[in-house]
Chain A
Amino acid sequence: MAARGHVQDPNDRRLRPIYDYLDNGNNKMAIQQADKLLKKHKDLHCAKVLKAIGLQRTGKQDEAFTLAQEVATLEPTDDNSLQALTILYREMHRPELVTKLYEAAVKKVPLSEEYHSHLFMAYARVGEYKKMQQAGMALYKIVPKNPYYFWSVMSLVMQAISAQDEKLAQTMFLPLAERMVEKMVKEEKIEAEAEVQLYFMILERLGKCVEALEVIRGPLGEKLTSELQSRENKCMMLYQRLQQWPECNALAHKLLLKNPDDWQFYPSYFDSLFHLIDQSWIQPEEGDHCPEGEVHHTVAEVVRFVEERIKGEDGKESHSLRGPYLARLELMHRLRKRGCAEERLLGDPFELMVQFFGKFGDKPCCITDLKIYLHLLPAEQHVQFINRLSKAVPLREQGEEGFSFPEDTKALQRHLCLCQLSRALGLNHSLDVDGKLRLITELKAHYRYGLKFGKNAVKTELQFSDMYCLMAAHVYIDLWTETGDENMVWQCLGLLQEGLSHSASNAQFKLLLLLLYCRLGAFEPVVDLYSSLDAKHVQHDTIGFLLTRYAESLGQFAAASQSCNFSLRFFHSNQKDTSEYIIQAYKYGAFEKIPEFIALRNRLNQSLHFAQVRTERMLLDLFLEADIVLSLEESVRAMPLSAEDDDIPWDNMRDNRDLTVFTSWDPKERELTDEHRLRSLEEESVWLRLRSLTLRLLTFLAGLGHTPSQQNSKMSNENGVGDKTSVLGSLLSQLNQTLQTAAQLAEKHIQYPFLGPPATRLAPALSSGSCQCQAAALQLSVHLQELETVGLDESSELQTQICNSFKSLVVQLQEILNKCKGDLLEMKESKLKTQPSLLENLIFFVETVCIVLWMASYCAKILRPLKTGLQKKKKKKKDSQTALPVVVCGFQELTGSLQDLLTQALEHIKGQETGMTALKLASLTLEGPTQWLFFDMSVSLVVIRLELAVQSPSPQGFQYSAVEGMSEEELRDKALGLAKHALSGKSELEREAVLHQHIGSRAMGDMVIETFEPSQDKGGGEDPGGSAEQDGELQAVNTEDTKGSQEDGAVPGTAPDSPSKQLPDHISFFSGNPSVEIIYGIMHLYKTNKMTSLTEDVGRSAMVCILTVPATMTSHDLMKLMAPFNDVMEHMKIIRDSTPNQYMVLIKFCTQADADSFYTACNGRQFNSIEEAVCQLVYVERAEVIKSEEGASLPVMELTELPKCTVCLERMDESVNGILTTLCNHSFHSQCLQRWEDASCPVCRYCQTPEPVEENKCFECGVQENLWICLICGHIGCGRYVSRHAYKHFEETQHTYAMQLTNHRVWDYAGDNYVHRLVASKTDGKMVQYENEGDACHAEKIDALQLEYSYLLTSQLESQRIYWENKIVHLEKETAEEINNMKAKFKETLERCDNLEQRLGEITKDKQGIEKKYTQLNSRVVKLSQELKEEQEMNRCLRANQTQLQAQLAEEERKGKESALAGP
């Protein structure tokens, strides 16, 4: 869900829990929460929409829709509602409603960029190109961004692509788009690469190659950078379209110089050459050269160019590229096709290919490369070619088998390639049967030898030699198809399974196995194989046919239905998902991809497989689930299907099957051709048409079922029936027509290659007669309809006709049934033969019977009212003499014969079952060496030790050792070495203590050993008379207890008081003859701690032990099991110890090889088909008899003593996790004990749980409470508050109904509610109304309330938490902001402070300066004033002087004057 994160909006906060519930899939809570919210806030539209989403997801589509429309009509403009509605409409598959939504929103808020772009996307989702164009332009007007403009342009292009009228596209849409782009180009507004791409796309679609070329080569082309070589590739394409061969040639040549391995340019290079030759092009005058560079216009030049490239590669030290070498072959191929004599220039294809093999033979793809050019070799050179190549394969000296093997993986690859080539040349196919068998032996030998190179390979890797195995399998298949010898297929299966065991992830093995199993009619292993392929998504479409083709025809309806479901789910999701990515492509400007995505969507929607699974799934549902009376109608009603409309795109059907998925090296003439593909598609279509018509007719039939109710209203009836008859008529005539086509097609007997498309069910359906019978049954509905309108009285002719049809239906059904008879599996000349076609016919019979029964029930429905009418009449007339109408008699006859037929069929099926299980698989042997079955498997050998009590006699001839040439003493040393060491030097008492400790709580007991030895004078038990007598005798032995046998015959044993052997010559006429001994002690079973390989040449042992044989298996049965090995068996010892109900058998064979073949034949097999017990075999390394006092119970080095799982007796240490020890101190595999039905201990019958109670538990997790049982298949799973396994089961299987085990209430997963009305009463099993007041229910209610309440609480708490958390976040943010502000202020202040300080400093400095100046000035003032004073003083003095002088002067003057006067 989108649009969260804004905490501020209170609505968002309120809605949030709903979003969360929806996200978590808790739809119910979401609905509740929404309801609550809506009570408080009536106008919170979004809550309504979210509720609708919840409703939609719980299957209440209608409610959801009304709710959504309520909101939609209000034309909301808030983000939340719009987005939620978009999601809802998409989930409803109603994307067209989203457009309406945003149209309204845009109208209300005309300037919103967001809503406009949503509107555009909404249009894109539904493909309304014209409106998209407008929306794009509107967007561009609001916000002039380039992408919006180009969205609009692309919408034009899409209009052109989708236009019905090509002319309209070429003359209107595309030119308009071109002009729009040109406008941008002129205004130099082109910005992005995508825009240039789009321009190019438009020009290309317009066919304006010259202009396109200009764009690409011009400055706009420089924007094309993200894709590598994009410009070059585009130029090349345009040159070709423009037929500018010189440029084409020159460019290709230039690009090849750069990368001589780039294959795509070689064809253009060669093509252009031939075009130039055809045009007799001449190098123009100088100065007029081709803009792309040099042009090669003669073959010689081109040959030289290729040779030069090859030389370049030859010169390289490592990693030569294959390109130039293959190009030479390609050139030769093309020259030859033209009939060009200059082919010689290149040399001899023979030599060229030999050279290629020499260079690249060690690459796995060598065969794929050369295969295309093998036709260059003339047929007579084929053998020579292979011989020549084999010289280039370094192999070792010939081994014993006459094969020489490769030294390393490279040599192996070369040899493999050689084998593949010779197959591809058809040399395998020309061999005779013996030759082929020899070839298989050789391939198998190579396969097994090659395994050693991949010993360390991890599980996911393939083995180097896997292809040998596959090739051998192919040869087996050749033999099978040619000779019809089914043994070949068995061998092939074995080989492939072997291959799979070494290379667990080889898909080719799996595919081929799958195919073979299907062809043999064995579907069981196929499901696992297919699921291990892990095919998903699109692979459902491409290889799903492998499964769906066979599942149904082999009667695996459930598996078929399931595989159809998987495929359907994929196809449905495609329809929804693809549109979203078309929108993405607009967003990211991947314009080129838009038409591609649309094509993909169409390709999937038109897939043949889609139509097939759709049809078959519905048919299967009907066959599986529809009951005769009611539920055909119901089932049909639930299906998206109508009789009138055909929803299969017959004309555009796409065959998406991957028919090349099988690797094959078949020669060309045997390969799959296009013709095959066409034929197969045609055949599939016809078959599909038959099936779809059958289905639609059945739908129609179901529809007829409820006409009686409509009968009341005459109006609708008249219209309805008139309509309906015409539909019925047209459907039936189509069916008949298709049947005719089908018959013609079947006559052609189209043969596909074995690995090609599987043939349809058409031919077998026709030959079984089921198609015709079904058609006849459906045809009957017309007559029945007629009868309904006419009534019984005046329709005797019609009635006879109907009766005749009834009769012929029965005859036809009987014929089909007859074709099913015979054994599915039968032994012929000791070879197993399968008859899958019988099974197939049986399925056809079942399907046909279903249809006939539906028809019959329809018939009954019509006859019933007619008959009651008749009876009323009878009563009125009181005329009991009138016979029943013909048709009623006929119908009664029909039901009688149908019942008869069904009984026959059931008996047949039962017979098959028993026949198959009773089939003696023991008599099945695979021809040829069988040892390979356990190639490279390892086992640990076991040691059996009898610990004897002191007084017990020791049994004769029991001791055995696999290692030959060891003396008895050495053996004893080996066995008792440790024990001796432990016991030596100890006192008697101490020794006893040690021994006692090791024996533990085991107690010694009687052991009976019976020894059988085949008589020497009788050559095995082949003689039937002989073996019968032998049987009788053995039974006698068995019924007597051991004491009885003591009395038998003479007692020539050495110990007179012991029961001793009965010599075989006493009863010489039978091959097995027991001698019985009783000893007292304990039997120990050890396994050796080292693994021994199961390969042929490793020494194991000639003695084999069957660990456990159930007591129900008499020795007579045992002898029967052993019968085929009587010849090679030395003796057989049956050991019975105190363990009840079972015994152990030791069998000594003449040679190890015999033991091996017995092991292969019998290990892991059931003793007989009725009991589950399996023959578990182990090799015995030695069997010892040791006295207890010698320390027989003490541990032995290299050996591990085994507990015995009394149920399966498998060595338990290899699955330690599953060991369970019970109260009575017996140990078992837990799984085995589970299978043990009752609660007592299998060994001592100790009762674990005193009262056996029903113990139900979840199949998946084992939980025991809150369990639900599926009412369809009985699966038990836990409820949704535990681990949801019951629900998971529903999801996987679509089994909708489950019953709670405690209170028997039934839940419907589809409706998500309880659906039970009636439940079986616990006391008497009667159906009673479920009581609501029941205690359990009450308690549950309280529980539910509590649960609900706690949910409520948690949700409230959660929302509170979120609220407060948000608050905290908010506060934090604010505080942080404040702090930041303060910090800033503080910083500012600091700065100012700094400034001031600085200024202060400056000022003080100034002040100091000034003060200084001041003092200076001051001193100067003082000085000056001093000076002034002095001056003044001086002045005064001077003035005084002056006055004085003046006075003097005046004196003088007066004197002078006086003198003058006084003068003369």
Chain B
Amino acid sequence: MTTLRPFTCDDLFKFNNINLDPLTETYGIPFYLQYLAHWPEYFIVAEAPGGELMGYIMGKAEGSVAREEWHGHVTALSVAPEFRRLGLAAKLMEMLEEISERKGGFFVDLFVRVSNQVAVNMYKRLGYSVYRTVIEYYSASNGEPDEDAYDMRKALSRDTEKKSIVPLPHPVRPEDIE
């Protein structure tokens, strides 16, 4: 029971119930505007019948086509606590994959905190697998150690041999990923 529609600037003023979650980062306005200017179709919000925002997904298309690395990337995916357990995240991911398919991507990828077991499991259920580990990708604020990230991928139909998701044997550092 959801209205899925493009994210608009006005939604920035209403998404507190989603963004007050500790694992959801609130970015600066420029960050959102960059996505809205460049990949508006990749920024989708779900709205409940009562007008509350339920969750949103923000992503982009990037990478070189020649090297078969053109892909969709999930930058942020978050669902408000009260609208969890409805399969909304799966639905949003599905849409992002569909858009990436249309754009001729080879795969969809995302980064997730190693500790965020809930999310990792969900992505696994949705067909994603760990492609590599990125060491200390997430910088912690209050003196805690930086956290590693999994780079998870799912191949799209264009990558017929699923070459893009063959896991890398060694972890990489954030500066090594482009």
Contact = CB atoms under 8 A, between A and B. Distances in A.
A368 B8 contact: no
Interface residues of A, number: 63
A537 B1 contact: no
Contact of A330 (B19, B22, B49): B49
Interface string A581-593: 1001101101011
Nearest to A461: B118
List the 10 closest A-B pairs by CB distance, nearest first: A581-B33, A507-B20, A322-B1, A600-B9, A505-B22, A584-B37, A585-B37, A264-B3, A226-B41, A227-B41
B3 A539 contact: no
A376 to B, nearest CB: 14
Given A458-B115, A596-B9, 13 more contacts: A319-B87, A330-B49, A368-B52, A535-B20, A538-B12, A541-B13, A581-B33, A584-B37, A593-B36, A597-B36, A599-B9, A600-B10, A603-B9
Given A319-B87, A578-B29, A593-B40, A365 B82 contact: yes
A257 interface: no
A1017 interface: no
B99 A537 contact: no
B16 interface: yes
B64 interface: no
B95 interface: yes
26 contacts: A225-B102, A226-B102, A263-B1, A263-B2, A264-B3, A264-B5, A322-B1, A323-B2, A326-B1, A364-B82, A365-B48, A368-B82, A372-B49, A372-B50, A460-B22, A507-B20, A536-B28, A574-B29, A580-B30, A581-B30, A588-B37, A597-B9, A597-B33, A658-B14, A658-B16, A661-B16
Contact of A590 (B10, B26, B40, B49): B40
Interface string A367-392: 11101100000000000000000000
A460 B23 contact: yes
A1216 interface: no
A1150 interface: no
Contacts of A542: 13, 16
Interface in B27-47: 27-30, 33-34, 36-38, 40-41, 47
Nearest to B83: A365
A585 B27 CA distance: 19
A962 interface: no
B33 A226 contact: no
Contacts of A593: 36-37, 40
B27 A537 contact: yes
Nearest to A580: B30
A913 interface: no
A590 B1 contact: no
Nearest to B42: A226
B160 interface: no
Contacts of B21: 460, 505, 507
Contacts of B10: 600, 603
A264 B83 CA distance: 18
A264 B116 CA distance: 33
Contacts of B34: 581, 584
A372 B47 CA distance: 15
A364 B81 contact: yes
Interface string A430-466: 0000000000000000000000000000111110000
A201 to B, nearest CB: 13
Nearest to A330: B49
Contacts of B83: 364-365, 368
B4 A262 contact: yes
A534 to B, nearest CB: 7
B103 interface: yes
A321 interface: yes
Contacts of B81: 364, 462
A585 B36 CA distance: 8
Contacts of B98: 228
Nearest to A362: B85
Interface string A1355-1384: 000000000000000000000000000000
Nearest to A537: B28
- Centre residue among B5, B9, B99 by max chain A CB count within 10 A: B9
Contacts of A600: 9-10, 12, 29, 33
Interface string B106-119: 00000000011110
Contacts of A599: 9
Nearest to A197: B40
B1 A458 contact: no
Interface extent on B, as a size class? Answer: 35 or more
A532 B3 CA distance: 32
A1305 B56 CA distance: 54
A507 B78 CA distance: 15
Contacts of B8: 596
B4 A584 contact: no
Interface of A: 225-228, 261-264, 319, 321-323, 326, 330, 363-365, 367-369, 371-372, 458-462, 505, 507, 533-539, 541-543, 573-574, 577-578, 580-581, 584-585, 587-588, 590, 592-593, 596-597, 599-600, 603-604, 656, 658, 660-661, 663
B63 to A, nearest CB: 17
Interface in B67-100: 81-87, 95, 98-99
A262 B29 contact: no
A604 B29 CA distance: 11
A533 B20 contact: yes
A578 B13 contact: no
B93 to A, nearest CB: 13
Contacts of B2: 261-263, 323
B35 to A, nearest CB: 10
Contacts of A227: 6, 40-41, 99
Contacts of A580: 30
B17 interface: yes
A539 B40 CA distance: 22
Contacts of B84: 364
Contacts of B36: 581, 585, 590, 593, 596-597
Nearest to A371: B50
A444 B73 CA distance: 44
Contacts of A371: 50
Nearest to B38: A588
Contacts of A577: 28-30, 33
Contacts of A538: 12-13, 26, 29
A597 B38 CA distance: 13
A823 to B, nearest CB: 37
A157 B48 CA distance: 33
Contacts of A323: 1-2
Nearest to A225: B102
Contacts of A536: 26, 28
Nearest to B87: A319
A225 B103 CA distance: 9
A462 B20 CA distance: 12
Contacts of B6: 227
A262 B13 contact: no
Contact of A228 (B23, B54, B87, B99): B99
A249 B26 CA distance: 40
A537 B26 contact: yes
A368 B50 CA distance: 8
A1225 to B, nearest CB: 32
Nearest to A586: B37
A330 B99 CA distance: 31
Contacts of B41: 226-228
Contacts of B50: 368, 371-372
A604 B19 CA distance: 19
B49 A369 contact: yes
Contact of B85 (A364, A369, A459): A364
Contacts of A261: 1-2
A543 B16 contact: yes
B47 to A, nearest CB: 8
Contacts of A658: 13-14, 16
B146 to A, nearest CB: 16
B163 to A, nearest CB: 25
